[in-house]
Every structure is written in structure tokens, then in C-alpha cells.
A and B are shown apart, each in its own frame.
Chain A
Amino acid sequence: MALDITVDVASPTPPFEQIRSQIAGYVRGGLLAPGDRLPTMRALAADLGVAVGTVARAYGELEAGGLVTSRRRTGTVVTGQPARPPAGDRVRAAADALVRTAREDGVDDDAVLAVVRAALAGVPTG
């Protein structure tokens, strides 16, 4: 699957952060697997029309976040996603259970979302 990086040079978000966040999103979403090689800094900078230092900073931040590693021979390689906090897994499992229950009881998606929003806002739903 071809992945794109988009940079808006007029955006208040610095270009290095735009690059970093998109690559981090691809790694966390599983679209970039451990072992995948990122483009060289020079090539990505040339493609985006930004300075090499901009891409170098984005790659540096990704490395500091444990998402990629830089090796002399292979370049920048995806190492994998950092361990997800246990609470994230529990919430996801609860959400899956909620959706299953809603389907079994014939509750439509809008009603499910309304219930979740109300719960988030602290309004009693029972």
C-alpha cells in the first residue's frame, strides 16, 4: 500500500512536526511494519521541497520516540510501535463489548454514540 506524506508549508504546525506526526500515525496504525525502511532524508526532503534538516529533525524525533532507528548501512528503519498502555487495551475491549451488545439489542449506531457521549460528559445513562 502506497503511503503519502503531505506538508503544508503555510500551516502554523512546523513542517518537521507534520512529517513526524504522519509517519508516527502510520507506524501506530500498523501501516508501517517493523523492518520497513523509510526514504533517505535527502530523498524525502527533495520530494517535499523542504530542507534536509527538516526531515532529519522529524526522523530524530521519531527515533527519540522509539518508533524508528537509524543504522549506518540500512538507513532509517521502523522498529515497531511503542507498548500500548494497558488501559488502552481494556477500553478497546469494553468498546468492542459495547458494540456487540448494541447489535444484539438492536440499538442503532447513533444511539450508541449518544450513550457514549453522555457517559463521557458524566450524565447518568441508566
Chain B
Amino acid sequence: MAGLPLLLVLAVTALVGIGVAVVRRSPPSREGSVAAARRHATTASVGAVAAGVLAALVVPFSDGSWGTGEPASGGRELMLVPLAFGIAHTVVLTVGELTWPRPAGQVRRARLVRRGPLDAAPAGLVRSAGAAVVLAVLTVVVGALVADGDGRGISRSGELWARSSGPFPGWFYGGPALAGLALLVALVGAALWVVATRAAVLTADDRIEAALRSASAHRVLRGATAAVLLLAGGLLGVAGTAAHSLGSGPTPSPLGPVGAAVAVLGLACVAAGLVVLCRRAPGVPADQPVPA
């Protein structure tokens, strides 16, 4: 049941996110096309969170313990929980963008502007996503370099002593994490491209169309960034705890305080991931009343 606290944290975060969304909801839109687009976006967003939570619940049982009533005891499956959430969340959001309401009516209008994949994405979230990916990759690489040969622990020895500690995020944990991370990054790139090329919302106010597209990119980046931060935080937390354990005791070494600092950094990453997950997407400006 080691994954229960993580799932509990995800559930509480989801509830906080829903609460924030309900309390700070934009006023209803009067334009039919805008209202339909907002309904579609809400459905896709709720579906993405539900799919993400479902994937996060299923992954701990992926070692074959499904049906036994006991979640997997392996740390590798637990480590993949945030990535499973991020991947499922991104896939459902992409499907939502692919099925975005198409223009209808006899006369269609389009703005002659070129949209790049990152044009609509909030710059701060893009930077956060990039930093989170770099941090996760660095953690995996450094972990693989300093871990034992089996990639599951860390050990140090002196002339008269030898100590080992684990679990430690070596290649045993880092390999699947890196593969999942690469898949998530590719999916996010594809999702942002779909967001940029999907149909515009027909509205008299360009700010509304820009806000809806920005909100779509925000949702994609928000889930993925939170997933990567939770992954990096988990890896750093485990690595720091193992290093701290190794550096403490009868033969203290600088590894102890370094490990403690790494563990604190991991906790900070987890907290940052939860904050990102609760960040509200850009609101839609109030539109003009449609003449009767």
C-alpha cells in the first residue's frame, strides 16, 4: 500500500483544482460558437483528469498483482504513476482537440495568421515544462552514474567498512522513467501541434479565440509539467533518502547532508508539481451580448 499516499495526494489535488475551477469560473458566453467550444473544452478537461487518475490507479497493479487486492510492492510501478497520469491526460486532451467543433454555416471566415505550436502556450508554463524535463533527465543520468551495477541501490566502502543503501534511482528505475518521459514529451509536442492547427472559434472578439487556444495549450502543459515534476521529485526524494542514509551512521560523510538537501529538493519538486496541477487555465473574456 506504499502508493496510497501518492494517490491520496493526487485525489486531493484534483479536488482542489476542481474547486478552484468552479469558484473562479469565467462568466457564461452568449455567442453560440463560444459556448459550444467552452463546453467541449470542459468535457475534454474533465475526461483527461479522469483518464489520468484511472491510469494512475491501474499502473501500480501492472506487475500482475491485479485481482489479488494488493498493489505492487515494487517501486518501479509506483515511480511510473505520475507518468501514467501525464500520458493518459495528454492523450485524452489531444483527442479533445482533434474533435474540436468544426466551423458550420454557409459563410466561413478565418484569420490569415500563422500559428506555431508554442504561440498559444503560456511562456511561463513552457519554461517550467522545459526545466522539469531537464531536471528529470539529469536526475536519471546522475542516478545511473552513481548507482550500483544492478541499478537499484548505492554503496560506498572504505578500508575497513562497506555500506549500501536502497532503493536508489539507478538505471533499473531510470530506464523506464526515461522511456516514459520521452513518450510524454513526444505526446505533448503532438498535442501542442494539434492545438495550434485545430479550427478557430468563430467569434467577433479575437481575445476569446486567443484565450480558448491558450487555455487548451495550458491544460496540455499543466498536466505534463506536473507529471514530470512529480516524477523528478519522487526520484530525487528516493535518491536523497538513500544517500542520506549512506552518509549517516557510524562513519558520517558529506553524503549525509547532500542526501538530505537532495531529498528536500525532491519534496520541493513534488510541491511545485501539485501547484502547477492546480493552476487555472486562462479565463475567457466576457463576450458581447448577441443582438436579439
Contact = CB atoms under 8 A, between A and B. Distances in A.
A5 B109 contact: yes
A50 B113 contact: no
Given A49-B104, A49-B199, A23 B115 contact: no
A49 B102 contact: yes
A38 B102 CA distance: 21
B114 A38 contact: yes
Given A46-B197, A46-B198, A8 B112 contact: no
A26 B113 CA distance: 13
B114 A42 contact: no
A3 to B, nearest CB: 4
B115 A39 contact: yes
Main secondary structure of the interface of A (DSSP, over half): mixed
A89 interface: no
Contacts of B111: 2-5, 47
Contact of A43 (B106, B109, B196): B196
A13 B108 CA distance: 14
Interface residues of A, number: 25
Nearest to B103: A49
B109 A50 contact: no
B206 interface: yes
A66 interface: no
A85 to B, nearest CB: 27
Contact of A48 (B108, B113, B197): B108
B107 A5 contact: no
A37 interface: yes
Main secondary structure of the interface of B (DSSP, over half): loop
**Which interface class (under 10, 10 to 19, 20 to 34, 35 or more) fits B?**
10 to 19
A43 B115 contact: yes
Contacts of A49: 102-104, 108, 199
Interface string B245-264: 00000000000000000000
A37 B111 CA distance: 13
Contacts of A44: 110, 112
A122 B102 CA distance: 53
A41 to B, nearest CB: 9
B197 A8 contact: no
A15 to B, nearest CB: 9
Contact of A40 (B104, B107, B114, B200): B114
A14 interface: no
Contacts of B109: 4-7, 48
A42 B104 CA distance: 17
A21 B109 CA distance: 15
A47 B107 contact: no
Contacts of A37: 114
Given A2-B111, A9-B106, 8 more contacts: A2-B112, A2-B206, A5-B112, A8-B107, A39-B114, A40-B115, A48-B103, A49-B108
The 6 A-B residue pairs with the shortest CB-CB distance in the complex, in nearest-first order: A47-B110, A49-B103, A46-B199, A3-B112, A43-B197, A37-B114
Interface of A: 2-10, 23, 26, 32, 37-40, 42-44, 46-50, 75
